[in-house]
């Protein structure tokens, strides 16, 4: 076999949990001498970190892997591995279906990646998809140039079993990372220059330190004490578990930003029940009211599924009216699709694609109007912005995020990158705000 020249193409699909795992994979592969390349054509090793949350996400993986067959024919020494949630879901079925694959590994097998690559180089094909009872990430791997913002997983898995969702099956049971380990990782990232941390979990509100019993509000308080860390965000919060403790923590801790992703999934009580979400529309609205009472500037985000089995026009209209009532800042919306193992997959009364499609279009059109109005309502406010660098579009424009997580673009010099500045908002757009820099008074740290 030809000795590989050690280049890896690592492709990540899916949520931030996968993005986080991919960083750990990149770190381990770098230790093995693999340099990262963008294009699969240039690689000796291709690793896909996959998502299975909707049918389309899974199909994307199959078509991507299919295309790699040609490369493998041209370069027989090429090693191809599939990790993440599709890998967990399909296991060695993937190896049987796709003979050009070398190995398959689930999210809990990430630490075994170096071994899997080594075995593949020796010609061994295998699938490693055991979900461990205690496999919350335990290594601390810090990317070499992490930038200003970084993610830290605080818990993995999910115990909620929403009836449409594959995540509990592919990520396993909920497991929290000890707070000491979370803090160690946050500290190391801050030392490497990170100023904003996003704490990750499918349901961060049910965080429970296995060592001390600390809850998520307590964890936030500890992270808030980290010197030279400026900003803390977290995702995702489950509406049924949003306790007063977390609301108070958000209101009281200066580094915790005024932003919350609080997925509603539907505005109809009938659908919420069928989805096994554990709250009613009224309870959800009450949570929003309690949160806004303490954190008035909070920007709220949500996920909505349209076309869940049995969703009537009336149920759908309840979702539209929820959007009007809550007035989200940002929204991710999806057409329902059947997922393996799930209860909803076995329900009758599935909706046709056209109905789902037109409902999605209508929901998104409404959100565009609301989002724009919410952004326009920011005009005149002065916002603290963490400057990330030059804006993607527009000469001389810099770009960063407000405390509420909104993208803010403003004219300014590139030297502002990495600093906190104050910006007066002059215009609200659909997905961003425009503003002008307020000259520093000397208080803002660079």
250's CB contacts (< 8 A; 6+ apart) are: 220, 256, 258, 260, 291, 294, 295, 298
Task: State the nearest-atom distance from the C-beta of 235 to ligand SAH, in Å.
Answer: 8
Token pair for 258? 């005024």
CA distance 296 to 377: 14
Contact residue for ligand F3S among 167, 257, 305, 434 (CB under 6 A): 167
Position 53 contacts ligand SAH (CB under 6 A): yes
Three-class secondary structure of residue 14 per DSSP? coil
- With contacts defined by CB under 6 A, name the span among 23-31, 163-171, 400-408, 419-427 that binds ligand SAH: 163-171
* Cβ–Cβ < 8 Å for 90, 339: no
Binding partner of residue 168 among ligand SF4, ligand SAH, ligand F3S, none, CB cut-off 5 to 8 Å per kind: ligand SF4
- Binding string to ligand SAH for residues 333 to 372, with x set by CB under 6 A, is what? -x-xx-x---------------------------------
CA distance 103 to 100: 9
Task: State the nearest-atom distance from the C-beta of 171 to ligand SF4, in Å.
Answer: 8
Position 284 contacts ligand SAH (CB under 6 A): no
Task: State the nearest-atom distance from the C-beta of 17 to ligand SF4, in Å.
Answer: 10
- With contacts defined by CB under 6 A, name the span among 139-147, 160-168, 243-251, 285-293 that binds ligand SAH: 160-168
Contact residue for ligand F3S among 171, 195, 255, 261 (CB under 6 A): 171
Give strand ranges (E) for 30-75. 35-36, 45-50
Token pair for 147? 């930038």
Task: State the nearest-atom distance from the C-beta of 279 to ligand SF4, in Å.
Answer: 12
Give the residue from 132, 125, 124 showing the smallest Cα distance to 106.
132
- Binding string to ligand SF4 for residues 226 to 265, with x set by CB under 6 A, is what? ------------x---------------------------
Position 279 contacts ligand SAH (CB under 6 A): no
CA angle (127, 131, 132) in 5-degree steps:
120
- Specify the pairing of strand 126-128 against strand 103-105: parallel
Classify the C-alpha dihedral 270-271-277-281 as positive or negative.
Answer: negative
Beta-carbon neighbour count of residue 367 at 10 Å? 23
The helix, strand and coil proportions of the chain, stated in percent and rounded to the nearest 5, come to 40, 20, 40
Token pair for 233? 């965000």
- Binding string to ligand SF4 for residues 186 to 205, with x set by CB under 6 A, is what? ----------------xx--
Three-class secondary structure of residue 245 per DSSP? helix
Q: Which residues bind ligand F3S (CB under 6 A)?
A: 14-15, 17-18, 51-53, 84-85, 166-167, 170-171
Q: Which residues bind ligand SF4 (CB under 6 A)?
A: 158, 160-162, 165, 167-168, 202-203, 238
Q: Which residues bind ligand SAH (CB under 6 A)?
A: 53-54, 164-165, 167, 202-203, 236, 238, 263, 265, 303, 305, 334, 336-337, 339
């Amino acid at each position: 076999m030809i000795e590989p020249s050690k280049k890896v193409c690592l492709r990540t699909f899916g949520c931030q949990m996968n993005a986080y795992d991919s960083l750990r994979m990149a770190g381990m592969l770098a230790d093995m001498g693999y340099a990262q390349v963008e294009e699969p054509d240039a690689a000796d090793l291709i690793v896909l970190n996959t998502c299975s949350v909707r049918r389309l996400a899974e199909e994307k993986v199959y078509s991507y892997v299919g295309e790699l067959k040609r490369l493998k024919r041209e370069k027989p020494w090429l090693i191809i591995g599939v990790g993440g949630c599709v890998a967990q879901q399909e296991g060695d079925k993937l190896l049987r279906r796709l003979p050009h694959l070398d190995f398959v590994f689930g999210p809990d097998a990430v630490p075994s990646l170096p071994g899997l690559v080594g075995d593949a180089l020796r010609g061994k094909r295998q699938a490693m998809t055991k979900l461990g009872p205690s496999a919350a990430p335990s290594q601390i791997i810090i990317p070499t140039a992490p930038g200003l913002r970084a993610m830290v997983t605080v818990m993995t898995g999910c115990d909620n079993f929403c009836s449409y969702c594959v995540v509990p099956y592919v990520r396993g049971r909920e497991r929290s990372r000890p707070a000491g380990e979370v803090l160690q990782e946050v500290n190391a990232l801050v030392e490497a220059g990170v100023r904003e941390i996003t704490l990750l979990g499918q349901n961060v509100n049910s965080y429970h330190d296995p060592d001390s019993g600390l809850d998520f509000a307590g964890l936030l308080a500890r992270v808030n004490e980290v010197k030279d860390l400026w900003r803390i965000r977290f995702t995702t919060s489950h509406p049924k578990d949003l306790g007063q403790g977390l609301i108070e923590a958000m209101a009281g801790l200066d580094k915790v930003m005024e932003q919350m992703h609080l997925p509603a999934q539907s505005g109809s009580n009938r659908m919420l029940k069928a989805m096994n979400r554990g709250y009613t529309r009224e309870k959800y609205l009450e949570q929003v009211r309690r949160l806004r009472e303490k954190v008035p500037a909070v920007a709220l985000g949500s996920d909505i599924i349209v076309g869940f089995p049995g969703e009537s026009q009336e149920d759908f209209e309840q979702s539209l009216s929820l959007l009007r009532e809550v007035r989200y800042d940002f929204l991710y919306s999806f057409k329902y699709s059947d997922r393996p193992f799930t209860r909803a997959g076995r329900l009758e009364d599935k909706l046709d694609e056209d109905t789902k499609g037109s409902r999605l279009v209508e929901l998104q059109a409404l959100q565009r109007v609301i989002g724009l109005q919410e952004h326009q309502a920011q005009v005149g406010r002065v916002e603290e912005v963490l400057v990330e660098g030059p804006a993607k579009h527009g000469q001389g424009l810099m770009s960063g995020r407000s405390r509420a997580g909104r993208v803010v673009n403003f004219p300014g010099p590139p030297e502002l990158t990495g600093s906190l500045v104050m910006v007066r908002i002059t215009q609200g757009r659909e997905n961003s705000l425009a503003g002008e820099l307020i000259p520093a008074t000397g208080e803002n740290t660079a």
